[in-house]
């Protein structure tokens, strides 16, 4: 028995369990420069590989001459598609059911596409080798504008599949067409529009952007010829999936592949897919018998690995004069670039874009998405937006504002009028989702009260009058955004990647002294899993979070899991942790009953151990129980205390939030100032409020970047004009506004601890808040929709177009 008397509060505080602002344990190594990233992997005899890339966006390759390159000191090999054909690796499958060239096979389809892989003793020699490879190109007509991709005279990009009538998602209408995906009831929706009192229609585009994590994509591959084993250290958000993909395409038995994702410097979706660099480094290691490292530079990262968005959404809403929405019709033209390498669950060619009815009770809706090829980099990753949810949220949140403007109604009022009501959950949306829970009115009203929404509108009216009187050159905008996220992919009934159900896993093993380890199928890229996962276990098992080590990213030791993206870790793996902990706890209860010589049912859980009901002094702590599990297990019971859970979620979780942005724009310069930004998030049960706040700050900063300037832009000839940080907007502390955060708590009814994801929410809700603020500012000058990104130049142009500048 413990001699020191401690209060229940002290015992609970010692655990640092759920709800505690526990400091991030990983930061001890990160802040001291002791992180271990892929580039820190340095093996004896390690070689370096780098790519020859195409300056042309569309060209035939007439010849590749490697002779001069092979004479460069230090250069050991130059791989081309012809070499890869020998091992059947010139092309690789994509996550979206398409195939992608690993190295240019006969032609190139986007600028900076990988053409040859030079392997050398160091990075400098590799670079010299790249310059010495002679490639003869014959330029072909370039297709940049997706709206012309299906023209009769459009250049055919994918000659490999030009005669294929069917793609991975059904029939194709044109050689440059990838798929058409439709959801909802077309007839009912058309009928709603036919009898609508008010309708709006607008082309709302969400431009192409890029996750651009601090650390680029990279790997080290080391093939052991004697054992026939391949070890890959890489920046992988989903290490197990990478191992399975390598096993399938390289025909190496899966148990002889070791995938290790060490510390990762940000992922944001960029590190979900498989890239040519991984394949080439692996082949180069097999060929040379030496470890081979491949590290992207910034320009390569921005121009060739997965972009995000590039959705052109023709949006129509039908409503009554009073502002009740009666129908939603959306057509999306999705620009997928040269290959369909979208990272979405297999059955979802446009991700979860069918969440586009948002937070509103639409009686009927219809959605059609056409995916097309263009001469741009492939990809289409989430970038903090869980599978096209940010595109959907932007579409509906802009649409609702445009409708409010047409009706002469306040945008917040219009939303309140159409929200799904708290008593309607679980709610079946017109496009097929079952929203698990929500309380939108409460969140919206809390936002409106906190910021004094009515007061802000009054101020805006006064400022507009002053502008018209010529007393000020500043216009004021209020950007309202109310988003519903859908995270936690996902239930095996509808979510898989390459046929593998999207469950996730946790294995907990407690040691004799009462400490333990948790191994996970997820992989943190900065989210703080080592901190938060231990907090769940602390609360569930009464063991201090500090006594639990969380391990992720090594496929040899971790249970199979689908990885970290789409804010799925908390909804899926977070549930697996609780379930594994509960299995451990059930066994602990049997041991405690034996030690206390009572029946299991006579015990009750009390913070950090079991107590005999009615006899509070008869108590066994988890520490006592751990020791007994190895020292004196009950007769007939196996020693040890561990469990594993593979959790297949019954549904997604639906976080939501109410955001408001207050912005002032100087019409003469286009310069904007974000005066205030308020973000209320509801992610159900909160594990670590400090980490949540950090996640929200990060996501809002990215949303700010995207809405206000960040873009991957191509010129008419297919050249990337924003391929470096000289032109690609990354906000620093100077530009970034101050973030005010707030919350409500609506637990998920099906999640064992009630938690929903949060990492992506601020980006999903943030972008429409900024864009609506800009659009709201200009609306009184007669504008309905101004395209993102809203940089100074575009704001100035808008002001000029609207006659605000003489
Ligand atoms: N309720 C709750 C929720 C949550 N949480 C926390 O928070 C975090 C997050 O979570 P989530 O939401 O679940 O998510 P995850 O899965 O984990 O992650 C993912 C995400 O995450 C975010 N965030 C971040 N951060 C950092 N630092 N880094 C990074 O990279 C990143 N990324 C991004 C992204 S993009 Mo995608 O991939 O696009 O799809 S997706 C994503 C973690 O830690 C957790 O635990 C808490 O606490 N509570
Ligand atoms: Cu997305």
Q: Cα–chain-centroid distance for residue 718?
A: 27
- Kindly give the number of the ligand 1 atom that is closest to the alpha carbon of 268: 35
Q: Examine the residue annotation and report whether 237 is marked as an active-site residue of this protein.
A: yes
Per-residue pLDDT tens over the stretch 549-590: 999 999 999 999 999 999 999 999 999 999 999 999 999 999
Provide the sign of the torsion angle of the four alpha carbons 421, 425, 430, 434, taken in this order: positive
Bridge partners, residue 484, by sequence: 656
pLDDT of residue 60: 98
pLDDT of residue 259: 98
Per-residue pLDDT tens over the stretch 319-339: 999 999 999 999 999 999 999
Beta carbon of 566 within 6 Å of any ligand 1 atom: yes
Q: Output the average pLDDT for the chain.
A: 97
Exposed, middle or buried, 462 (CB in 10 Å: 0-12/13-18/19+)?
Answer: exposed
DSSP code of residue 570: I
Nearest ligand, measured from the Cα of 211: 1
Per-residue pLDDT tens over the stretch 598-656: 999 999 999 999 999 999 999 999 999 999 999 999 999 999 999 999 999 999 999 99
Checking phi first, is residue 640 left (phi over 0); if not, alpha (psi -120 to 50) or beta? Answer: left
pLDDT at residue 366 is higher than 80: yes
Ion ligand 2 neighbours, Cβ < 5 Å:
382, 385, 387-388
CA angle at residue 34 from 30 to 39, to 5 degrees?
A: 100
Distance separating alpha carbons of residues 375 and 55, to the nearest angstrom:
12
Query: What is the CATH code for 38-140+216-264+271-304?
Result: 3.90.1170.50
* CATH for 8-35+504-647, options being 3.30.365.10, 3.40.50.800, 3.20.10.10, 3.30.413.10: 3.30.365.10
The pick from 19, 21, 495, 570 for probing ligand 1's pocket by mutation, whose C-beta has the most ligand atoms within 8 angstroms, reads 570
Per-residue pLDDT tens over the stretch 726-772: 999 999 999 999 999 999 999 999 999 999 999 999 999 999 999 99
Task: Single out the catalytic residue among 217, 219, 342, 385.
Answer: 385
Percent of the chain surpassing pLDDT 90: 97
Distance separating alpha carbons of residues 631 and 624, to the nearest angstrom:
10
Using alpha carbons, list the distances in angstroms from residue 605 to 297, 464, 506. Answer: 54, 62, 22
pLDDT of residue 498: 87
pLDDT of residue 805: 92
Per-residue pLDDT tens over the stretch 242-298: 999 999 988 899 999 999 999 999 999 999 999 999 999 999 999 999 999 999 999
pLDDT of residue 53: 98
Per-residue pLDDT tens over the stretch 38-87: 999 999 999 999 999 999 999 999 999 999 999 999 999 999 999 999 99
**Fold agreement (38-140+216-264+271-304, 307-489+652-801):** no
Asked if residue 277 lies in contact with residue 216, where contact means CB atoms within 8 angstroms, the answer is no
pLDDT of residue 1: 47
- Kindly give the number of the ligand 1 atom that is closest to the alpha carbon of 308: 38
> Where exactly are the structural domains of the chain?
8-35+504-647, 38-140+216-264+271-304, 307-489+652-801
Nearest ligand, measured from the Cα of 690: 1
Taking the centre of ligand 2 as the mean of its atom positions, its distance from the CA of residue 764, in whole angstroms, is: 9
Q: Examine the residue annotation and report whether 760 is marked as an active-site residue of this protein.
A: yes
Name the fold adopted by 307-489+652-801. Answer: Aldehyde Oxidoreductase; domain 4 (3.30.365)
pLDDT of residue 386: 81
Distance separating alpha carbons of residues 217 and 232, to the nearest angstrom:
13
pLDDT of residue 249: 87
Q: Examine the residue annotation and report whether 384 is marked as an active-site residue of this protein.
A: yes
Distance separating alpha carbons of residues 592 and 585, to the nearest angstrom:
10
Task: For the chain, report the end-to-end CA distance as a whole number of angstroms.
Answer: 84
Beta carbon of 698 within 6 Å of any ligand 1 atom: yes
DSSP codes joined into one string, 60-97: EEEEEE-HHHHHSTTEEEEE-HHHHHHTT-SEEE-TTS
Per-residue pLDDT tens over the stretch 96-151: 999 999 999 999 999 999 999 999 999 999 999 999 999 999 999 999 999 999 99
Per-residue pLDDT tens over the stretch 462-501: 999 999 999 999 999 999 999 999 999 989 999 999 899 9
Using alpha carbons, list the distances in angstroms from residue 389 to 397, 444, 508, 563, 654. Answer: 12, 20, 33, 19, 11
- Kindly give the number of the ligand 1 atom that is closest to the alpha carbon of 384: 35
Distance separating alpha carbons of residues 199 and 462, to the nearest angstrom:
30
pLDDT at residue 207 is higher than 50: yes
ipTM, 2 decimals? Answer: 0.99
pLDDT at residue 5 is higher than 80: no
Write phi, then psi, for 769 (nearest 5 degrees): -65, -45
Beta carbon of 760 within 6 Å of any ligand 1 atom: yes
pLDDT of residue 4: 67
Taking the centre of ligand 1 as the mean of its atom positions, its distance from the CA of residue 384, in whole angstroms, is: 9
């Amino acid at each position: 028995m413990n001699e020191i008397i401690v209060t229940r509060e002290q015992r609970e505080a010692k655990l640092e369990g759920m709800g505690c602002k526990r400091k991030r344990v990983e930061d001890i190594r990160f802040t001291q420069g002791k992180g271990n990233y892929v580039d820190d992997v340095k093996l004896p005899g390690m070689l370096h590989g780098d790519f020859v890339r195409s300056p042309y966006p569309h060209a035939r390759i007439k010849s590749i001459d490697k002779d001069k390159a092979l004479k460069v000191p230090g250069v050991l090999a130059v791989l081309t598609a012809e070499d890869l054909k020998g091992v059947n690796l010139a092309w690789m499958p994509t996550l979206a059911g398409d195939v992608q060239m690993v190295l240019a096979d006969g032609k190139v389809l986007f600028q900076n596409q990988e053409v040859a892989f030079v392997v050398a003793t160091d990075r400098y020699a590799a670079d010299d080798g790249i310059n010495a490879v002679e490639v003869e190109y014959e330029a072909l007509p370039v297709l940049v504008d997706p709206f012309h991709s299906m023209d009769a005279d459009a250049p055919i990009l994918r000659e490999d599949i030009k005669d294929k009538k069917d793609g991975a998602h059904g029939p194709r209408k044109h050689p440059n067409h990838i798929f058409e995906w439709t959801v909802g009831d077309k007839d009912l929706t058309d009928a709603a529009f036919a009898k609508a009192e008010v309708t709006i229609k607008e082309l709302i585009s969400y431009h192409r952007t890029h996750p651009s994590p601090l650390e680029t994509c990279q790997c080290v591959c080391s093939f052991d010829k004697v054992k026939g084993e391949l070890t890959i250290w890489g920046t992988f958000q989903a290490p197990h999936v990478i191992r399975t993909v390598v096993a399938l395409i390289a025909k190496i038995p899966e148990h002889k592949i070791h995938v290790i994702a060490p510390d990762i410097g940000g992922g944001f979706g960029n590190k979900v897919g498989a890239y040519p660099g991984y394949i080439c480094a692996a082949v180069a290691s097999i060929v040379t018998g030496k470890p081979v490292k491949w590290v992207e530079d910034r320009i390569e990262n921005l121009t060739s690995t997965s972009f995000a968005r590039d959705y052109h959404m023709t949006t129509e809403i039908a409503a009554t004069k009073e502002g009740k929405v009666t129908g939603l019709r959306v057509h999306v033209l999705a620009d997928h670039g040269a290959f369909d390498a979208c990272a979405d669950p297999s059955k979802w060619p446009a991700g979860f874009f069918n969440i586009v009815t948002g937070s509103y009770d639409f009686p009927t809706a219809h959605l059609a998405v056409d995916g097309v090829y263009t001469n741009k980099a492939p990809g289409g990753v989430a970038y903090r937006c869980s599978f096209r949810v940010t595109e959907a949220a932007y579409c509906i949140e802009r649409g609702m504002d445009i409708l409010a403007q047409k009706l002469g109604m306040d945008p917040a009022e219009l939303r309140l009028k159409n929200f799904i009501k708290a008593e309607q959950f679980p709610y079946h949306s017109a496009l097929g989702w079952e929203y698990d829970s929500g309380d939108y009115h409460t969140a919206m009203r809390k936002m409106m009260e906190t910021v004094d929404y009515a007061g802000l509108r009054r101020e805006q009216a006064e400022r507009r009058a002053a502008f018209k009187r010529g007393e000020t050159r500043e216009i004021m905008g209020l950007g309202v955004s109310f988003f519903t996220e859908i995270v936690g992919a996902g239930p095996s009934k509808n979510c898989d990647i390459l046929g593998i159900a999207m469950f996730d896993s946790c294995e907990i093993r407690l040691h004799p002294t009462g400490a333990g380890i948790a191994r996970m199928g997820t992989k943190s890229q900065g989210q703080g899993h080592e901190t938060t996962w231990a907090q769940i276990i602390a609360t569930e098992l009464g063991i201090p979070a500090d006594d639990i080590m969380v391990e992720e990213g090594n496929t040899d030791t971790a249970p199979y899991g689908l990885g970290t993206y789409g804010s799925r870790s908390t909804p899926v793996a977070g549930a697996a942790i609780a379930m594994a902990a509960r299995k451990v706890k059930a066994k602990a209860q049997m041991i405690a009953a034996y030690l206390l010589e009572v029946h299991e049912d006579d015990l009750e859980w009390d913070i950090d151990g079991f107590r005999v009901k009615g006899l509070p002094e008869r108590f066994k702590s988890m520490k006592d129980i751990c020791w007994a599990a190895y020292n004196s297990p009950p007769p007939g019971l196996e020693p040890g205390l561990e469990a594993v859970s593979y959790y297949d979620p019954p549904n997604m979780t639906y976080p939501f939030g109410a955001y408001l942005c207050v912005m002032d724009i100087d019409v003469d310069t286009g310069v904007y100032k974000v005066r205030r930004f308020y973000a209320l998030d509801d992610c159900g049960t909160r594990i670590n409020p400090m980490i949540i706040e950090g996640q929200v700050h990060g996501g809002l900063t990215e949303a700010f970047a995207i809405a206000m300037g960040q873009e991957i832009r191509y010129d008419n000839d297919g050249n990337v004009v924003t391929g470096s940080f000289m032109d690609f907007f990354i906000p620093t502390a100077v530009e970034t506004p101050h973030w005010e955060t707030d919350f409500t708590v609506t637990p998920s009814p099906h999640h064992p601890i009630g938690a929903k994801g949060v990492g992506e929410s601020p980006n999903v809700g943030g972008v429409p808040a900024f864009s609506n603020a800009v659009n709201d500012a200009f609306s009184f000058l007669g504008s309905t929709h101004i395209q993102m990104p809203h940089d100074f130049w575009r704001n100035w142009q808008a002001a000029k177009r609207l006659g605000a500048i003489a």
